[in-house]
Structure 1
Amino acid sequence: MIGKLEMLIALAREKHFGRAAESLGITQPSLSTGLKQLEAYLGVKLVQRGARFGGLTPEGQRALVAARRITADARRLRDEMRASRLGLSGQVRLAVIPTALTWASRLATGFTARHPNVGFTILSRSSQEVLTMIETMEADIGLSYLDNEPLGRVTRVVLYREAYTLVCRRDHPLAAQGGLGWSDLAGVRLCLLTQDMQNRRIINRNFMEAGIAPPSPIESNSTVVLVSNVAEGGWVTILPTDMAAFLAAGHDLAIVPLQGGVPAHSVGLVAPQQEPQTPVLEALMEHGRTLAINS
């Protein structure tokens, strides 16, 4: 039964029979058969069928909520039993905002050093996508902003507070400055993260507080693309201190602290609110607390 519930979850996520089957590693006929068997067991129609996926019925939507809860409980039970027998093991799916990817690597490498039977799949996503992936069980845990926009019912572990720096070439007029205010960026040729990123919304708020509205002709959802643009020409970008230091290393780039602006926001782990957590997630959150203290 758990397998058939996972079929319903996959179909709701992918919104396509073929992609849902592929995500589960089964054939499309097997997916269709499994869903029909689930409908027969529950005695209701769950899926609107036609030439293509037509969505879930109202009963299907209610079944989806229950399916997510049941499969999460089953996964937690399985992980608890496996941990009692083999120790911590499994694959953690970690969804991360782009500006926190260096911290995600630090978290994963430190944790796997202690628990070599645990692996990580690290996915770069916007803050809203991080929350959605946790809700739909596409991710086990997230790394995102904690106190800027609503998160809902989640467990949080603070890792650090975000501070911003300007990244520019060493021959740029601003490179020699010991520090800059946000108002000093009026008229600067900026490339920034895309508007769907919470980081960009925070930066825009800092500009608004400073009374400026500098354009950003180049936008990307990749911090690597932003720093590449800076290295190639007269562009500048704004990044959190940790990410800026990592991407600028080995390049002829300068990092200039930005001072003032709105209060710094916390970034950390976001996990589903459930008791108890799986042994792996509980250990990972404790590792995050230790990492925050020692950083």
Structure 2
Amino acid sequence: MIDKLEMFIALARERHFGRAAEACGVTQPTLSSAIRQLEDQLGVQLVFRGSRFQGLTPEGDRVLDWARRIVGDMRALRDEMRSARSGLSGNLRIGVIPTAVPMVADLTAPFLERHPGVHVRVVSRTSAEILAGIESLEFDAGITYLDNEPLGRVSQVPLYAESYRLVCGAGFPLAGRSAVTWAEVAALPLCLLSADMQNRRIVNQHLDRAEGPVSPSVESNSPLTLISHVLTGRWASVLPKKLADLFAVTGRISAIPITAPEVEHLVGLIAPHREPHTPILSALLDAARRLSEAPPR
């Protein structure tokens, strides 16, 4: 039954029989058969079928909620028994917003030092994709903004306050400044993260308040792409301090504090609001609390 529920969750997530089968490591006929067997066992139709996947029935939506709870609890039970038997081990999947990638090792390095038997997989995703991934059991935890857009019912631990920098080439007109205002930034030729990124929506809020809507000529979901454009000397960008400082160490890029006003947004670890958490997730939350309580470096 658990295997069938896991296949059903994968189908709901992928919305495609072939991709769901690949995600589960089975053939498509095996997955289709498992879904039909699950329907027979429960006595309801779960999936609208045609030449391709057409969505879940209302009963399928209800079963999906139960499936996520049951599979989540079963994974927690397996992890707890494995920990009791041989210490903390297993896989940990973390979704991280791109702008927080530079600080992930601040969390994972001490965590893995304490728990070397755990394998961590870090994946860069938007904040919306992280929330969806936690709900669908694709991710065990996420690192995202805590104070800007609704998170729903999740456990959360603040990690750091994100502030912002104007990022420009060393020869850019404002490169020698000690600080700039949001109004000054709004008047520049900009390349910014794409609108599906919460960081872009945050930056838009502050630029709009200072000067009105801004239309950058270059957008990307990759900070590295923005930096490559900044290095041409034609554009500037706005990035969080931790990410800007990472690129500024080369000396080819200036990272200038943006003031008037100087703003901050809270970034932290989120996890499913489920008690008890798996031993691995409990250990990660403890590591996050230690990191949040450590003095700033």
Q: TM-score range, shorter-chain basis?
A: over 0.9
Return the offset for 1:208.
1.8
Q: CA deviation at 1:43?
A: 1.3
Partner of 1:220: 220
Contact kept in structure 1, 2:167 and 2:244, CA below 8 Å = yes
Q: Is the 8 A contact 2:7 2:34 kept in 1?
A: yes
- Name the amino acid aligned to 2:112: T
Q: Which moved more, 1:54-63 or 1:1-10?
A: 54-63
Q: Which amino acid aligns with 1:195?
A: A
**Cα shift at 1:138:** 1.0
**Which residue is equivalent to 2:130?**
130
8 Å contact 2:186–2:211 — kept in the other structure?
no
TM-score by length of 2: 0.96
The aligned residue for residue 100 of structure 2 is 100
Q: 1:279 to 1:260 in 2, by over 3 A?
A: farther
1:293: Cα distance to partner? 2.3
Moved more, 245-254 or 84-93: 245-254
Q: Aligned equivalents of 1:152 and 1:273: distance in 2?
A: 10
Residue 251 of structure 1 and its aligned partner are, at CA, apart by 4.9
Give the TM-score, by structure 1 length: 0.96
Identity across matched positions, percent? 51
Instruction: Give the gaps of 5 or more residues in structure 2.
Output: none
Tell me the CA shift for residue 213 of structure 1: 3.3
Instruction: Return the letter of the residue paired with 2:165.
Output: T
Distance 2:201 2:272 in 1: 25
Distance (whole Å) between structure 1 residues aligned to residue 48 and residue 175 of structure 2? 59
Match of 1:41 in 2: 41
Q: What amino acid is aligned across from residue 59 of structure 1 in structure 2?
A: E
Alignment match, 2:165: 165
The number of residue pairs the alignment matches comes to 295
2:6 is the counterpart of 1:11: no
CA distance in 2, matches of 1:38, 1:55: 16
Instruction: Return the letter of the residue paired with 2:142.
Output: G
Give the distance between the partners of 2:34 and 2:112, measured in 1 at CA.
36
The structural deviation recorded for 1:121 is 1.3
How much has 1:205 moved relative to structure 2?
A: 0.9
1:262 to partner: Cα distance = 6.8
| Amino acid in structure 1 at the alignment position of 2:163 | A
Report the counterpart of residue 229 of structure 2 in structure 1.
229
1:149 partner amino acid = E
Q: Match for residue 59 of structure 1?
A: 59
Question: 3-state SS of the aligned residue for 2:231?
Answer: helix
Tell me the distance in 1 between the aligned counterparts of 2:22 and 2:271: 27
Supply the distance in 1 between the matched residues of 2:91 and 2:231 (Cα, whole angstroms).
36
Task: Label 1:186 to 1:35 Cα distance change in 2 as closer, same or farther (>3 A).
Answer: closer
Residue equivalent to 1:201: 201
Unaligned stretches of 5+ residues in structure 1: none
Query: Contact between 1:205 and 1:262, CA under 8 Å: does it hold in 2?
Result: no
Q: Given that residues 164 and 263 in structure 2 are in contact (C-alpha distance below 8 angstroms), is that contact kept between their aligned partners in structure 1?
A: no
CA–CA separation in structure 2 for the residues paired with 1:4 and 1:173: 61
